[in-house]
Amino acid sequence: PAMLGILGGGQLGSMFTVAAKTMGYRVTVLDPDPNAPAARFADCHLCAPFDDAVALKTLAQCAAVTTEFENVHAQSMRDLAQHTRVSPSGDCVAIAQNRIAEKAWIRKAGLPTAPYQTVERIGDIDEGTAQYLPGILKTATLGYDGKGQIRVRTVAEVQAAFEQHGGVACVLEKMVDLRAEISVIVCRLDSRHTATYDPAENRHDNGILSYSTVPARLPETVQRQARQMAVRLADALDYVGVLAVEMFVVGDAQDLVVNEIAPRPHNSGHHTIDACAASQFQQQVRLMCGLPPADTRLLSPCTMANILGDLWGGNGGEPHWEAVQQHPSAHLHLYGKTAARNGRKMGHFTVLADTADQAYAAAQQLHAQLDNTE
Ligand code: ATP
Ligand code: MG
Ligand code: MG
């Protein structure tokens, strides 16, 4: 069977590897962490930095290569593309890595973002800055799970926040009147072979995704528009692979604004493993191999709940798994990480129900029963 390669061996790489193995492929994972979750399932684990020349040479021999995380190796992706099939492209990965490039591309595709200005040096903060307040100063690169973000109300606070970020390039984004957050996952081979999943309605706590519920409890028209916008962005990027597009639903009019993109399967798409005709990881395998996307149909309303390290007891005591394990419609996924830290994603579960409201209620109840911090 053909060998597939992936840069990154975290939980996304792990779920990709399981999907690929099930579909009959072999998998090589590149990840510097000897305990990378994907190493449990991979045929070959290259335990080396993402730009390691020897490791990249091995990956170049794979039939196709993809990535599970967007930081540091756009150039490695470009180099590999000289030798084998690489998706998404290094260029798309580079755009998603940098909020300044990302927002420019979103607008270039004719799609709305929150009002923003770039702040690359202290002099960029001037009288005009006031129109983006109150706002959030986000570092252009390396932020995730709400890290690298400072909320600001005055021009003086923007200056202080820029210093606090160490003077690195930033985007100042105006706070929008958020009514809901959704994400659309696009599976694109080319302009004639593109599919989208139903938008997921996402709840965050402390800047980290906590629950995704599908179908989103939003009007059909808004959901259809969200899918169209996501496809438009994928088309503008001539994207190949799985692309997640995060959007805000703003104000009484429920206007859609694009927040950011992720050039890979996404945490808000984990429900596709248990509640859709094909999972986002099966799609990643198919698309990297040049196969058209599979059926994205939602088979049941559901809610995905993240399991963070916060649920472990002070002495490392595991969460109380019993309720989730016993529930007939709950599907538990643990990533095989040993060290539980606050904010660290250790696993997730997806619960299926007759309606989105029932799934969300069940997920919250099951999640509360996991807590072992008392
Ligand atoms: P991720 O882990 O999804 O990559 P991130 O660190 O890149 O997150 P963002 O998605 O930009 O951060 O923002 C994190 C959260 O902060 C959003 O999901 C949203 O709840 C809130 N937020 C961000 N920007 C705005 C805004 N302009 N107005 C209102 N809320 C916002
Ligand atoms: Mg982000
Ligand atoms: Mg985000």
What residue's CA is closest to ligand 1, atom 22?
175
Question: Comparing C-alpha atoms, which of 2, 4, 29, 3 is closest to residue 14?
Answer: 29
Please tell me the distance between residue 204's alpha carbon and the centre of ligand 1 in angstroms: 9
Record the tokens describing residue 118, joined without a space.
């770039």
Please tell me the distance between residue 158's alpha carbon and the centre of ligand 1 in angstroms: 17
Ligand number nearest CA of 115 is 1
pLDDT tens by residue, the chain, 374 residues: 899 999 999 999 999 999 999 999 999 999 999 999 999 999 999 999 999 999 999 999 999 999 998 776 899 999 999 999 999 999 999 999 999 999 999 999 999 999 999 999 999 999 999 999 999 999 999 888 888 899 999 999 999 999 999 999 999 999 999 999 999 999 999 999 999 999 999 999 998 999 999 999 999 999 999 999 999 999 999 999 999 999 999 999 999 999 999 999 999 999 999 999 999 999 999 999 999 999 999 999 999 999 999 999 988 899 999 999 999 999 999 999 989 999 999 999 999 999 999 999 999 999 999 999 97
Question: Comparing C-alpha atoms, which of 354, 351, 341, 254 is closest to residue 305?
Answer: 351
Ligand 1 pocket by Cβ (under 6 Å): 114, 136, 138, 143-147, 173, 175-176, 178, 181, 204, 207, 246, 259-260
Query: What long-range pairs does 281-284 form, CB within 8 A, spacing at least 24?
Result: 281/12, 281/15, 281/16, 281/18, 281/19, 281/20, 282/19, 282/23, 283/187, 283/195, 283/242, 284/16, 284/19, 284/66, 284/241, 284/242
Phi, psi of 154 (to 5 degrees): -125, 165
What residue's CA is closest to ligand 1, atom 14?
146
Residue 301 pLDDT: 98
Instruction: Give the pTM.
Output: 0.97
**Total Cβ atoms within 10 A of residue 328:** 6
